[in-house]
Protein backbone atom coordinates (compact mmCIF):
# COMPACT_ATOMS: atom_id res chain seq x y z
CA UNK A 1 0.00 0.00 0.00
CA UNK A 2 1.30 3.45 -0.93
CA UNK A 3 1.14 6.09 1.79
CA UNK A 4 0.67 9.64 0.45
CA UNK A 5 3.86 11.72 0.55
CA UNK A 6 3.89 15.52 0.68
CA UNK A 7 7.28 17.20 0.28
CA UNK A 8 7.93 20.90 0.88
CA UNK A 9 10.86 22.11 -1.24
CA UNK A 10 11.88 25.48 0.20
CA UNK A 11 14.45 26.06 -2.56
CA UNK A 12 16.69 29.06 -1.70
CA UNK A 13 14.35 30.50 0.90
CA UNK A 14 14.43 30.97 4.70
CA UNK A 15 17.40 31.55 6.95
CA UNK A 16 18.06 29.24 9.89
CA UNK A 17 16.16 31.55 12.25
CA UNK A 18 13.24 31.85 9.82
CA UNK A 19 13.18 28.08 9.58
CA UNK A 20 12.78 27.75 13.34
CA UNK A 21 9.81 30.10 13.24
CA UNK A 22 8.23 28.16 10.39
CA UNK A 23 8.53 24.83 12.18
CA UNK A 24 7.07 26.28 15.37
CA UNK A 25 4.07 27.74 13.55
CA UNK A 26 3.59 24.71 11.33
CA UNK A 27 3.59 22.18 14.15
CA UNK A 28 0.91 24.16 15.98
CA UNK A 29 -1.48 23.50 13.10
CA UNK A 30 -1.62 19.75 13.80
CA UNK A 31 -3.06 18.25 16.96
CA UNK A 32 -2.22 14.77 15.69
CA UNK A 33 0.13 13.62 12.93
CA UNK A 34 -1.10 14.09 9.38
CA UNK A 35 -2.53 11.19 7.39
CA UNK A 36 0.27 11.63 4.85
CA UNK A 37 4.01 11.30 5.27
CA UNK A 38 5.43 14.82 5.31
CA UNK A 39 8.96 15.96 4.41
CA UNK A 40 10.52 19.40 4.81
CA UNK A 41 13.43 20.13 2.46
CA UNK A 42 15.07 23.40 3.56
CA UNK A 43 18.33 24.79 2.16
CA UNK A 44 21.53 23.20 3.50
CA UNK A 45 22.10 26.09 5.91
CA UNK A 46 18.77 25.46 7.68
CA UNK A 47 18.90 21.66 7.93
CA UNK A 48 20.28 21.60 11.47
CA UNK A 49 17.87 24.34 12.55
CA UNK A 50 14.89 22.40 11.23
CA UNK A 51 16.11 19.14 12.73
CA UNK A 52 16.54 20.61 16.18
CA UNK A 53 13.19 22.42 15.96
CA UNK A 54 11.35 19.25 14.94
CA UNK A 55 12.94 17.22 17.72
CA UNK A 56 13.91 13.54 17.74
CA UNK A 57 10.37 12.14 17.84
CA UNK A 58 8.69 14.29 15.20
CA UNK A 59 6.43 12.66 12.60
CA UNK A 60 7.81 15.13 10.03
CA UNK A 61 10.85 13.89 8.09
CA UNK A 62 13.83 15.94 6.96
CA UNK A 63 14.99 16.08 3.36
CA UNK A 64 17.71 17.83 1.38
CA UNK A 65 17.50 19.52 -2.00
CA UNK A 66 20.60 18.04 -3.59
CA UNK A 67 23.74 15.98 -2.98
CA UNK A 68 27.01 15.13 -4.68
CA UNK A 69 27.58 11.63 -6.03
CA UNK A 70 30.95 11.23 -4.31
CA UNK A 71 31.20 10.43 -0.62
CA UNK A 72 34.03 12.90 0.08
CA UNK A 73 36.86 14.74 -1.59
CA UNK A 74 37.93 17.97 -3.27
CA UNK A 75 34.49 19.18 -4.35
CA UNK A 76 34.28 22.71 -2.97
CA UNK A 77 30.76 23.76 -2.12
CA UNK A 78 29.26 20.27 -2.42
CA UNK A 79 27.49 18.09 0.15
CA UNK A 80 27.72 14.31 0.42
CA UNK A 81 25.04 11.80 1.29
CA UNK A 82 26.88 10.86 4.47
CA UNK A 83 26.77 14.51 5.59
CA UNK A 84 23.02 14.60 4.99
CA UNK A 85 22.46 11.38 6.90
CA UNK A 86 24.46 12.74 9.82
CA UNK A 87 22.15 15.76 9.90
CA UNK A 88 19.13 13.49 10.14
CA UNK A 89 17.96 13.60 6.51
CA UNK A 90 15.92 10.68 5.22
CA UNK A 91 15.12 12.03 1.76
CA UNK A 92 16.97 13.98 -0.92
CA UNK A 93 15.59 15.64 -4.05
CA UNK A 94 17.55 14.70 -7.17
CA UNK A 95 17.39 16.07 -10.71
CA UNK A 96 15.04 18.99 -10.10
CA UNK A 97 14.46 20.91 -13.33
CA UNK A 98 16.13 23.99 -11.83
CA UNK A 99 19.27 21.94 -11.22
CA UNK A 100 19.13 20.67 -14.79
CA UNK A 101 18.42 24.04 -16.41
CA UNK A 102 20.39 26.46 -14.23
CA UNK A 103 23.34 24.31 -13.17
CA UNK A 104 23.79 22.08 -16.18
CA UNK A 105 22.97 18.75 -14.56
CA UNK A 106 22.77 16.04 -17.21
CA UNK A 107 20.87 12.77 -17.05
CA UNK A 108 24.17 11.00 -16.33
CA UNK A 109 24.82 13.31 -13.36
CA UNK A 110 21.34 12.65 -12.02
CA UNK A 111 21.83 8.91 -12.34
CA UNK A 112 25.03 9.03 -10.28
CA UNK A 113 23.26 11.05 -7.59
CA UNK A 114 20.35 8.61 -7.42
CA UNK A 115 22.76 5.70 -7.02
CA UNK A 116 24.79 7.57 -4.40
CA UNK A 117 21.66 8.31 -2.39
CA UNK A 118 20.42 4.72 -2.49
CA UNK A 119 23.87 3.35 -1.64
CA UNK A 120 24.29 5.51 1.44
CA UNK A 121 20.77 4.91 2.76
CA UNK A 122 18.93 8.03 1.65
CA UNK A 123 15.61 7.94 -0.18
CA UNK A 124 15.99 9.87 -3.46
CA UNK A 125 13.08 11.77 -4.98
CA UNK A 126 13.87 11.68 -8.69
CA UNK A 127 12.35 14.61 -10.60
CA UNK A 128 11.33 14.25 -14.23
CA UNK A 129 9.42 16.55 -16.54
CA UNK A 130 9.07 18.03 -20.00
CA UNK A 131 9.28 21.61 -21.28
CA UNK A 132 6.33 23.39 -22.85
CA UNK A 133 7.79 22.95 -26.33
CA UNK A 134 8.27 19.24 -25.73
CA UNK A 135 4.67 18.89 -24.59
CA UNK A 136 3.27 20.87 -27.48
CA UNK A 137 5.22 18.76 -29.97
CA UNK A 138 4.05 15.46 -28.47
CA UNK A 139 7.36 14.49 -26.89
CA UNK A 140 6.24 14.24 -23.26
CA UNK A 141 6.22 10.46 -22.92
CA UNK A 142 9.54 10.06 -24.71
CA UNK A 143 11.27 12.74 -22.64
CA UNK A 144 9.99 11.25 -19.38
CA UNK A 145 11.06 7.75 -20.45
CA UNK A 146 14.54 9.01 -21.31
CA UNK A 147 14.92 10.72 -17.94
CA UNK A 148 13.66 7.65 -16.10
CA UNK A 149 15.80 5.24 -18.11
CA UNK A 150 18.94 7.20 -17.31
CA UNK A 151 18.06 8.20 -13.73
CA UNK A 152 17.17 4.66 -12.67
CA UNK A 153 19.87 2.91 -14.68
CA UNK A 154 21.54 -0.03 -12.90
CA UNK A 155 19.02 -0.03 -10.05
CA UNK A 156 17.45 -3.34 -9.09
CA UNK A 157 13.81 -3.82 -8.17
CA UNK A 158 14.95 -3.91 -4.54
CA UNK A 159 16.75 -0.57 -4.99
CA UNK A 160 13.57 0.98 -6.37
CA UNK A 161 11.86 0.52 -3.01
CA UNK A 162 13.90 3.47 -1.75
CA UNK A 163 13.05 5.71 -4.71
CA UNK A 164 10.17 8.14 -5.24
CA UNK A 165 9.42 9.69 -8.63
CA UNK A 166 8.20 13.30 -8.87
CA UNK A 167 6.59 14.33 -12.15
CA UNK A 168 7.18 18.07 -12.48
CA UNK A 169 6.29 19.52 -15.88
CA UNK A 170 8.86 22.27 -16.40
CA UNK A 171 6.21 24.58 -17.83
CA UNK A 172 4.23 24.42 -14.59
CA UNK A 173 7.01 25.05 -12.05
CA UNK A 174 6.70 28.49 -10.50
CA UNK A 175 4.37 29.69 -13.26
CA UNK A 176 1.04 29.34 -11.51
CA UNK A 177 -0.05 27.10 -14.40
CA UNK A 178 -0.48 23.61 -12.98
CA UNK A 179 -1.08 20.60 -15.17
CA UNK A 180 -4.70 19.55 -15.36
CA UNK A 181 -5.72 16.46 -13.44
CA UNK A 182 -6.06 14.60 -16.75
CA UNK A 183 -2.60 15.68 -17.93
CA UNK A 184 -0.94 14.73 -14.63
CA UNK A 185 -2.77 11.40 -14.40
CA UNK A 186 -1.80 10.42 -17.94
CA UNK A 187 1.90 10.96 -17.26
CA UNK A 188 1.73 9.18 -13.90
CA UNK A 189 0.19 6.16 -15.62
CA UNK A 190 2.86 6.18 -18.30
CA UNK A 191 5.56 6.28 -15.60
CA UNK A 192 4.01 3.28 -13.86
CA UNK A 193 3.84 1.42 -17.17
CA UNK A 194 7.52 2.22 -17.77
CA UNK A 195 8.42 0.75 -14.37
CA UNK A 196 6.38 -2.38 -14.97
CA UNK A 197 8.09 -2.96 -18.32
CA UNK A 198 11.59 -2.16 -17.08
CA UNK A 199 11.38 -4.03 -13.77
CA UNK A 200 8.15 -5.75 -12.77
CA UNK A 201 4.52 -5.17 -11.81
CA UNK A 202 5.35 -5.07 -8.11
CA UNK A 203 7.89 -2.28 -8.60
CA UNK A 204 5.31 -0.32 -10.55
CA UNK A 205 2.57 -0.90 -7.99
CA UNK A 206 4.65 0.09 -4.96
CA UNK A 207 6.47 3.13 -6.39
CA UNK A 208 5.17 6.46 -5.10
CA UNK A 209 4.79 8.99 -7.91
CA UNK A 210 4.26 12.60 -6.86
CA UNK A 211 3.01 15.57 -8.83
CA UNK A 212 4.84 18.90 -8.63
CA UNK A 213 4.36 22.16 -10.47
CA UNK A 214 2.31 25.07 -9.08
CA UNK A 215 0.61 22.90 -6.45
CA UNK A 216 -1.54 25.13 -4.26
CA UNK A 217 -4.06 24.80 -1.45
CA UNK A 218 -6.72 25.43 -4.10
CA UNK A 219 -5.82 22.67 -6.58
CA UNK A 220 -4.30 20.06 -4.26
CA UNK A 221 -7.55 18.27 -3.47
CA UNK A 222 -8.43 17.56 -7.10
CA UNK A 223 -4.91 16.36 -7.90
CA UNK A 224 -4.53 14.19 -4.81
CA UNK A 225 -7.96 12.62 -5.27
CA UNK A 226 -6.56 10.64 -8.22
CA UNK A 227 -5.40 7.15 -7.29
CA UNK A 228 -2.40 7.43 -9.62
CA UNK A 229 -1.10 10.56 -7.86
CA UNK A 230 0.56 9.56 -4.60
CA UNK A 231 1.38 12.99 -3.22
CA UNK A 232 2.96 16.30 -4.10
CA UNK A 233 6.32 18.01 -4.35
CA UNK A 234 5.39 21.54 -3.35
CA UNK A 235 7.36 24.70 -4.07
CA UNK A 236 6.15 28.21 -3.32
CA UNK A 237 3.00 27.13 -1.48
CA UNK A 238 5.05 25.27 1.15
CA UNK A 239 6.73 28.45 2.40
CA UNK A 240 3.59 29.48 4.28
CA UNK A 241 2.61 27.15 7.15
CA UNK A 242 -1.12 27.60 6.58
CA UNK A 243 -1.11 26.89 2.84
CA UNK A 244 1.23 23.92 3.26
CA UNK A 245 -0.99 22.49 5.99
CA UNK A 246 -4.03 22.76 3.69
CA UNK A 247 -2.21 20.83 0.97
CA UNK A 248 -1.32 18.12 3.47
CA UNK A 249 -4.94 17.99 4.63
CA UNK A 250 -5.99 17.31 1.03
CA UNK A 251 -3.97 14.08 0.95
CA UNK A 252 -5.96 10.88 0.95
CA UNK A 253 -6.84 9.59 4.37
CA UNK A 254 -6.30 5.97 3.38
CA UNK A 255 -3.19 4.30 1.94
CA UNK A 256 -3.16 4.20 -1.86
CA UNK A 257 -2.93 1.06 -3.88
Active-site positions read 96, 168
Question: Distance between terminal CA atoms of the chain?
Answer: 5
Q: What are phi and psi of 123, to 5 degrees?
A: -105, 100
Are 170 and 127 in contact by the 8 Å Cβ rule? The answer is no
Convert the chain into a string of H (helix), E (strand) and C (coil).
Answer: CECCEEEEECCCCCCHHHHHHHHHHHHCCCCCCCCCEEEEECCHHHHHHHHHHHCCCCCEEEEECCCCCCCCCCCCCCCCHHHHHHCCCCEEEECCHHHHHHHCCCHHHHHHHHHHHHHHCCEEEEEECCCHHHHHCCCHHHHHHHHHHHHCCCCCHHHHCCCEEEECCHHHCCCCCCCCHHHHHHHHHHHHHHHHHHCCHHHHHHCEEEEECCCCCCCHHHHHCCCCCCEEEECHHHHCHHHHHHHHHCCCCCCEC
The residues, ordered by sequence, that sit 6+ positions from 238 with a Cβ below 8 Å of its Cβ are: 8, 9, 10, 40, 244, 247
Q: Are strands 123-128 and 164-167 parallel, antiparallel or unpaired?
A: parallel
Amino acid sequence: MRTPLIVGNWKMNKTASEARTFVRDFQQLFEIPADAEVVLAPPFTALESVRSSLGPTSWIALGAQNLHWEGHGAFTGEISGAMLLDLGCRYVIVGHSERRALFGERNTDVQKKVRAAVTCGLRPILCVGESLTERETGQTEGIIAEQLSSGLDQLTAADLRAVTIAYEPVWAIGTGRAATVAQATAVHRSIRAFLAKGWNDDAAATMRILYGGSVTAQNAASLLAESDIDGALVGGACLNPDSFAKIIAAAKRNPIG
